[in-house]
């Protein structure tokens, strides 16, 4: 049987690193097993769901390159389905209408708090037949007493919980919308999900969902509850830990593949390998290599992964991403090739390449001062013979450069340092031979003469 997995975010904010990793694991698993990834939007909270964040989630997934095979299905458009199932449970006596008002419930909760007892809905309407007319109600599940609910988690093994720890939880709210546990279970049944891969925070919801599966005689999928991602202070990752949404990392100059690589590697491993292409991850991902303990998000290692991915990235791809207006005559391929070797993110890549973008360079006075009159004479001499020479490749530039040094009794730094400064305006630039090849002769001449 083909595997069917789903990613089911709720559109109540932008995509968080933790949910992105869940999406990645589901995506990689579907690829590895030749299955399908279903995208489902869990928008049953009328108050908090927004179409804005829904769009943001979709565009983030697309940007990352996480493609889904079905959906997005919106739960808000499937209300009838949940109500039908709720009616089945109602008619079979497995659920009941509850007419207790919010105020009444709140009172009971407060009372429980005062007495330091655990609140559990006292089942007031569980067996009552005297239903009032024209009064709001919710539908609650009849949780059985004294039963052991167990299920197998592929990562954590058999998990058991006593039904007595569970409440008669609500499955349909008074506005007719389903609650998370109900909608989620029903959809997983309806969509024939074979593997539920989600965050560990859902572990304690699973028994309730098992109850629903059982009450409908539905087949229970394989569960895999992946550990959380924590911040540096070992608490749940949040805004306090800096950039958390994918958009943030995008604007910090991270590549999609870097995000997938780093996040996947947080909790998953494949021997000693650290850097993966998308294809490699799709081919090698396995639930068996998942780690049970929570992982701390480390921006430094993430950045290291990104710098590796940038070095590996295709030149044309980077060219598209940075969307630069290069000065005419620039050897763009060589420029990018040499700049990516020294960049850890896209921002830095652009900085390094900035000498290829604007004709006029801003060189600060202090740097100018460091070049003396003697240098100027050398530079002029260098420029003259450089302009006369016809280079076919960088090797010839190197030969020419070295010969010039030899003939003029100069050391490398005597010429390379001022030349680099004049030609790029920066200390962080490619090697001098590369600079001389990247820039057109005209531009080299222009920049040197302007200095003289």
Residue 37 or 436: the one with the smaller Cβ distance to RNA is 436
351 is a site residue for RNA (CB under 7 A): no
433 is a site residue for RNA (CB under 7 A): yes
Which run of H or of E encompasses 4?
strand 4-7
275 Cβ contact partners less than 8 Å away, ≥ 6 residues apart: 261, 305, 308, 309, 312
118 is a site residue for RNA (CB under 7 A): yes
Judged by CB under 7 A, how many residues of this single chain contact RNA? 81
Among 72, 221, 267, 425, binds RNA (CB under 7 A): 267
Q: In 3D, which of 435, 271, 198, 232 has the Cα closest to residue 337?
A: 435
84 is a site residue for RNA (CB under 7 A): no
The string over 258-295, giving b where at least 16 C-beta atoms fall within 10 Å of a residue's C-beta and e elsewhere, is bbbbbbbbbbbebeeeebbebeebbeebebeebeeeeb
Q: In 3D, which of 88, 77, 84, 11 has the Cα closest to residue 48?
A: 11
Q: Label each residue of 279-343 as H, E or C.
A: HHHHHHCCHHHECCCCEECCHHHHHHHHHHHHHHCCHHHHHHHHCCCCCCCCCHHHHHHHHHCCC
Nearest approach, Cβ of residue 228 and RNA (Å): 5
291 is a site residue for RNA (CB under 7 A): yes
Which residues from 6-45 bind RNA, rule CB under 7 A?
Answer: 8-10, 12, 42, 44-45
347 is a site residue for RNA (CB under 7 A): no
138 is a site residue for RNA (CB under 7 A): yes
Nearest approach, Cβ of residue 183 and RNA (Å): 7
204 is a site residue for RNA (CB under 7 A): yes
DSSP letter, residue 253: T
Site of tokens 């003029």: 408
136 is a site residue for RNA (CB under 7 A): yes
Among 27, 29, 177, 276, binds RNA (CB under 7 A): 177
What's the CA gap between 397 and 381, in Å, rounded?
A: 16
For RNA, which stretch binds (CB under 7 A), given 250-258, 259-267, 359-367, 373-381? 259-267
271 is a site residue for RNA (CB under 7 A): yes
What's the CA gap between 389 and 397, in Å, rounded?
A: 9
Q: To 5 degrees, how large is the angle CA 18–CA 20–CA 26? A: 110
Site string for RNA, 140-159 (x = CB under 7 A): ----------------xx-x
333 is a site residue for RNA (CB under 7 A): no
Site string for RNA, 226-255 (x = CB under 7 A): -xx-x---xxx-------------------
274 is a site residue for RNA (CB under 7 A): yes
């Amino acid at each position: 049987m083909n595997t069917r997995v789903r990613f089911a975010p709720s559109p109540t904010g932008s995509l968080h690193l933790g949910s992105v990793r869940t999406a990645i694991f589901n995506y990689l698993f579907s690829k590895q097993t030749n299955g399908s990834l279903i995208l489902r939007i869990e928008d049953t909270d009328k108050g908090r769901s927004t179409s804005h964040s829904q769009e943001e989630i979709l565009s983030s997934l697309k940007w990352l390159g996480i493609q889904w095979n079905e959906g997005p299905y919106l739960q808000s458009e499937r209300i009838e389905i949940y109500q039908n199932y709720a009616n089945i449970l109602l008619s079979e006596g497995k659920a009941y209408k509850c007419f207790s008002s919010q105020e009444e419930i709140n009172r009971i909760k407060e009372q429980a708090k005062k007495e330091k007892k655990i609140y559990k809905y006292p089942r007031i309407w569980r067996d009552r037949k005297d239903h009032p007319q024209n009064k709001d109600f919710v539908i609650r599940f009849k949780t059985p007493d004294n039963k052991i609910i167990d299920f197998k988690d592929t990562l954590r093994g058999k998990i058991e919980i006593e039904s007595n720890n569970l409440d008669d939880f609500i499955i349909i709210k008074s506005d007719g919308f389903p609650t998370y546990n109900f909608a989620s279970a029903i959809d997983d049944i309806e969509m024939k999900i074979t593997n539920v891969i989600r965050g560990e925070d859902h572990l304690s919801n699973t028994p309730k969902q098992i109850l629903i599966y059982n009450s409908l005689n539905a087949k229970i999928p394989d569960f895999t509850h992946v550990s959380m991602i924590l911040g540096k202070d070992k608490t749940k990752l949040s805004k306090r830990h800096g950039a958390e949404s994918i958009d943030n990392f995008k604007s910090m100059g991270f590549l999609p593949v870097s995000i997938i690589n780093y996040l996947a590697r947080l909790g998953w491993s494949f021997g000693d390998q650290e850097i993966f292409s998308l294809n490699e991850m799709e081919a090698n991902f396995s639930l068996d290599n998942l780690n049970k303990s929570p992982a701390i998000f480390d921006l430094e290692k993430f950045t290291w992964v990104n710098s590796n991915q940038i070095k590996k990235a295709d030149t044309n791809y980077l060219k598209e991403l940075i969307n630069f207006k290069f000065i005419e005559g620039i050897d763009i391929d060589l420029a990018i090739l040499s700049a990516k070797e020294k960049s850890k993110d896209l921002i830095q890549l652009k900085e390094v390449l900035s000498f290829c973008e604007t004709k006029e360079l801003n060189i600060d006075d202090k740097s100018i001062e460091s070049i003396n009159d003697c240098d100027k004479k050398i530079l002029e001499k260098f420029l003259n013979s450089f302009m006369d020479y016809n280079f076919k490749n960088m090797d010839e530039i190197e030969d020419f450069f070295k010969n010039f040094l030899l003939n003029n009794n100069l050391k490398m730094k005597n010429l390379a340092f001022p030349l680099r400064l004049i030609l790029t305006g920066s200390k962080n630039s490619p090697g001098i031979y590369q600079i001389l090849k990247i820039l057109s002769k005209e531009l080299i001449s222009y920049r040197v003469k302007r200095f003289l």
